[in-house]
């Protein structure tokens, strides 16, 4: 990328100011920063690698963490037991209306787990759709008629190498649909910028999914046939990278954002030669990019605003990792949001689910579950 390319990009920015991308929106209105996530009560001991959460019809919670799916039962979800273990990391989770547990297993595909209360659980696999593998599944959900929908973040990288996909500006994700018995799997939508999660809207009429790298939430009407209706953008230019969606129990949805966009990351995404060299020569942990949780390694990139002043880390410092959960209505308007800012300890929120006791939030960055008992409205 020479001087000439930068000149052209400058000219393009002047001529088409809205063409390539939007400026990082400031977090205001319902996205106004707060410390609500940090104020939340932690649910049980830490759960390293916690990724997704699903609630069964009887109120039992399932959490994927590492290679396991864990059942949280009993009063205050205090009893933990491993339901299933896999060879790869267990990611997206959903409970099928018929009671099966749907698990996205990295490197393999979609597992449908039967029963398992008494004997060993039986696992049925879906490993390909239209001839393409399902190694990088990120989220799964089941429709009212039993049909199953799942998202593959990227066809170039496994799910845990999501940062590579972001830095390559990947648009190779796809949305897969199959029947309740895992048959007739097909790719419904292709060329998505890392779809991070999928959910059926509370009114059961449409399928919602996120596109993390293009900061959007989209929806498509659920048609009777195996196809989807036309896709609509519900939310665009979000301040963070949207991941999983879940019903909030009040007619809206909970939207987890795994990290927030910063000017520096957006800048690096425009600087092709710098990014290419960074990816080639620097270990991934030290890249300029969003992280799930801070490791406080001195070799991580540092920004001026993050310098501690008089021993204090400013909460408004440019965040490398951040915790953000939003509650949205079916028009895509944000109703309220929960934050854990720079220096907080509930970062990298990958999922959340509504329970009678409150919203349970999965912080993958800090490997813990917290429970938000109060909603603002």
Partner 1 sequence: MSMTTWNAMSGAARRFSPRLLLSELMMKQWFEPVIPFLVMIGLALYFAATIPDYASVANSVSLLRLFAEFGFVALAMAVCLISGGIDLSVGAIFAIGNFAALFFLLVLGWPTWAVIAATLAVGGVLGAFNGFLIGYLKARPFLTTLVTLIILRAAVNLLNGAYATVFATNSPDSAVWDFLGEGSVLGIPINAATLFAVLLVGHLFLSRSRYGWHLTAIGASRKAARHAGIRVRLILFAAYVLSGILCAAGGIFYAARQASTDSTTGVGWEFQALTAVVLGGVSLAGGKGTVWRAMIGAIIVFMLTNGLVRMGIPGYITSAVIGVILLAAVGIDVKWTKNRGKAVQKTYVNPAAMPLAPAPSVAAASGTPFAQNDRLIHAEAIGVDQVEGPEDVILDRQDRLYGSTRDGNIIRFSGLRFERREVFAHIGGRPLGMQFDKDENLIVCVAGMGVYGVKPDGEVFKVTDETNRTWYKLNDDSRLRMADDLDIGPDGKIYFSDCTTRYEMTTNTLDILEGRPNGRLVVYDPATRRTRTLINHFYFPNGICVAHDGRSVLIASTSLCKIFRHWLEGPRKGQTEVLIDELPGNPDNINRASNGDYWLALVGIRTPTFDLATRKPGFRLRMIKQVPTDEWLAPGLNHGCILRFTEAGEVLESWWDPTGISHSTLTSMREHKGYVYLGGLENNRIGRIKVDGADPAWTGYEAYWGAGRRDGR
For residue 301, state whether it binds partner 1 (rule: CB under 8 A): yes
Report yes or no: 251 and 207 within 8 Å, Cβ to Cβ: no
**Token output for 316:** 């408004």
Nearest one of 215, 206, 208, 203 to 175, comparing CA atoms = 208
The C-alpha atoms of residue 188 and residue 357 are separated, in whole angstroms, by 36
Q: Of the candidates 47, 103, 288, 361, which one interacts with partner 1 according to CB under 8 A?
A: 288
Measured in residues, the chain has a length of 377
- For partner 1, give the closer residue by CB, 27 or 359: 27
Map the footprint of partner 1 across residues 230-269, applying CB under 8 A: 262-264, 267
Report yes or no: 88 and 106 within 8 Å, Cβ to Cβ: yes
Sign of CA dihedral 95, 211, 200, 26: positive
The C-alpha atoms of residue 72 and residue 79 are separated, in whole angstroms, by 6
For residue 355, state whether it binds partner 1 (rule: CB under 8 A): no
For residue 276, state whether it binds partner 1 (rule: CB under 8 A): no
- For partner 1, give the closer residue by CB, 231 or 264: 264
For residue 304, state whether it binds partner 1 (rule: CB under 8 A): yes
Strand order in the sheet with 216-221: 198-200, 206-211, 216-221, 232-235
For residue 274, state whether it binds partner 1 (rule: CB under 8 A): yes
Number of residues that bind partner 1 (CB under 8 A): 36
- For partner 1, give the closer residue by CB, 87 or 297: 297
Helix boundaries (H) for 83-190: 162-167
In angstroms, how far is CA 29 from the centroid of its own chain?
Answer: 22
Residues with Cβ within 8 Å of residue 329, at least 6 apart in sequence: 251, 252, 253, 335
Map the footprint of partner 1 across residues 6-65, applying CB under 8 A: 6
Report yes or no: 232 and 209 within 8 Å, Cβ to Cβ: no
Q: Shortest approach of partner 1 to residue 28 CB, angstroms?
A: 16
- For partner 1, give the closer residue by CB, 210 or 262: 262
- For partner 1, give the closer residue by CB, 82 or 282: 282
Report yes or no: 92 and 153 within 8 Å, Cβ to Cβ: no
**3-class SS at 38?**
helix
Q: Shortest approach of partner 1 to residue 260 CB, angstroms?
A: 12
- For partner 1, give the closer residue by CB, 294 or 365: 294
Q: Of the candidates 49, 271, 334, 358, which one interacts with partner 1 according to CB under 8 A?
A: 271
For residue 125, state whether it binds partner 1 (rule: CB under 8 A): no
Q: Shortest approach of partner 1 to residue 148 CB, angstroms?
A: 41
Q: Shortest approach of partner 1 to residue 287 CB, angstroms?
A: 7
Q: Applying CB under 8 A, which part among 62-70, 156-164, 270-278, 360-368 lies near partner 1?
A: 270-278
């Amino acid at each position: 990328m020479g001087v000439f390319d930068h000149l052209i990009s400058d000219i393009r920015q002047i001529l088409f100011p809205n063409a390539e991308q939007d400026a990082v929106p400031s977090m205001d209105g319902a996205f106004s920063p707060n410390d609500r996530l940090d104020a939340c009560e932690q649910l049980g001991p830490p759960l390293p690698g916690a990724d997704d959460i699903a609630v069964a019809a009887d109120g039992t919670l399932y959490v994927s963490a590492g290679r396991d799916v864990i059942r949280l039962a009993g009063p205050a979800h205090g009893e933990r037991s491993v339901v299933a273990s896999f060879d790869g990391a267990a990611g997206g989770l959903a409970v099928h209306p018929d009671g099966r547990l749907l698990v996205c297993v990295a490197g393999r595909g979609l597992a449908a787990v039967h029963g398992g209360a008494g004997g060993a659980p039986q696992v049925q696999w879906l490993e390909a759709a239209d001839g393409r593998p399902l190694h990088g599944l990120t989220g799964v959900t089941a429709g009212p008629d039993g049909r199953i929908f799942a998202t593959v973040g990227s066809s170039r990288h496994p799910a845990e190498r999501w940062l590579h996909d972001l830095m390559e500006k990947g648009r190779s994700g796809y949305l897969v649909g199959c029947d309740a018995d895992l048959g007739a799997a097909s790719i419904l939508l292709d060329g998505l910028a890392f779809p991070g999660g999928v959910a059926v809207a509370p009114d059961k009429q449409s399928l919602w999914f996120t596109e993390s790298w293009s900061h959007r939430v989209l929806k498509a009407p659920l048609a009777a046939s195996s196809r989807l209706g036309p896709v609509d953008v519900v939310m665009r230019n979000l301040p963070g990278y949207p991941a999983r969606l879940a019903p909030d129990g009040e007619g809206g949805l909970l939207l987890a954002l795994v990290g927030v966009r910063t000017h520096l990351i957006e800048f690096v995404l425009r600087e092709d030669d710098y990014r290419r060299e960074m990816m080639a020569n620097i270990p991934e942990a030290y890249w300029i990019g969003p992280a799930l949780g801070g490791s406080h390694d001195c070799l991580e990139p540092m920004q001026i605003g993050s310098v501690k002043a008089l021993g204090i880390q400013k909460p408004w410092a440019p965040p490398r990792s951040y915790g953000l959960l939003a509650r949205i209505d079916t028009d895509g308007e944000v109703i309220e949001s929960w934050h854990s800012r720079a220096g907080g300890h509930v970062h990298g929120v990958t999922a959340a689910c509504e329970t009678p006791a409150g919203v349970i939030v999965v912080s993958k960055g800090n490997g813990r579950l917290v429970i938000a008992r109060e909603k603002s409205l």
